[in-house]
Amino acid sequence: MKVDEIQLKKTYHNGKEGDGRRSRYTINWDNANGITYCETHTGRIGNCSIGNFPKWAKGEVKG
Q: Please write down the HEC assignment for all residues of 4-54.
A: HHCCCCCEEECCCCHHHCCEEEEEEEECCCEEEEEECCCCCEEEECCCCHH
Pick the closest to residue 44 from 27, 63, 19 (CA basis).
Answer: 27
Quick one: pLDDT at residue 22?
Answer: 97
pTM: 0.91
In this model, does residue 63 exceed pLDDT 80? no
